[in-house]
Amino acid sequence: MKGLNQINSMEQRLSKTFFLSFYFEIQSTLRYIREVFVAHSFEIASKAYVAFKKGPSWNVNTQQLLSYPISSLGYHLGCFLLKHSFEPQPRCENHDVFHVITNYKIDTTQEIAMQFWLYGNGKRSPFVLLAMFVGAMLYMDGYSAFAKAYSSGKQAVPVHAIDFMQHLASPISQFKN
């Protein structure tokens, strides 16, 4: 009887192990599909956003930004762009400035959290609303980060309407909350 119980126990453990490993594999695959879907969707949406965005381009590149004083917004923006092998996207340069002043990273969950921060800070745009909607629908695992970002943006000094191009030589500390 003791041997039979040990075999049953071992079968149950093997069954659990197989089920859990299969479950985690499915979860991993679904997360990957989510990331690919969202990345492509945001790429399409950002191209549309750039096409309809009004206002002049800054006409500046990463190397020019790095020539600003070390403590300046321009220099820190240049460092951010260099670190991620980016160049400023015409008419959307503020987006990268928001990364610099809020410290949100460039992965999908952090991008969405930054949009929640901006909404809390008072920014209203179709792109912000779209990112928040996608976050709410597809990133349930990020709800606490999104709520924290919204609250943090609400408490911060409003920065969404600042013309950052005019402040590239200004100290970064002026914009960090």
Highest mean pLDDT among 14-23, 35-44, 46-55, 57-66 belongs to 57-66
Least confident residue range of 32-36, 45-49, 58-62, 107-111 = 45-49
For residues 102 and 113, what is the distance between their CA atoms, to the nearest angstrom?
A: 10
Cβ neighbours of 148 (radius 10 Å): 14
For residues 29 and 122, what is the distance between their CA atoms, to the nearest angstrom?
A: 36
Least confident residue range of 20-24, 66-70, 78-82, 99-103 = 20-24
Cβ neighbours of 36 (radius 10 Å): 10
Q: Global pTM?
A: 0.80
pLDDT score of 98 more than 90: yes
Q: Nearest 5°: CA angle at 104, between 96 and 48?
A: 45
Q: Nearest 5°: CA angle at 124, between 54 and 174?
A: 85
Q: Write down the pLDDT at residue 36.
A: 84
Q: Write down the pLDDT at residue 23.
A: 59
- In angstroms, what CA-CA distances link 132 with 40, 120, 136? 16, 11, 6
Report percent pLDDT > 70 for the chain: 86
Least confident residue range of 12-16, 49-53, 60-64, 98-102 = 12-16
Place of tokens 């695992």: 141
Least confident residue range of 20-24, 52-56, 78-82, 150-154 = 20-24
What average pLDDT does this structure show over 23-29? 70
| Contact between 149 and 117 (Cβ < 8 Å) | yes
What average pLDDT does this structure show over 123-140? 92
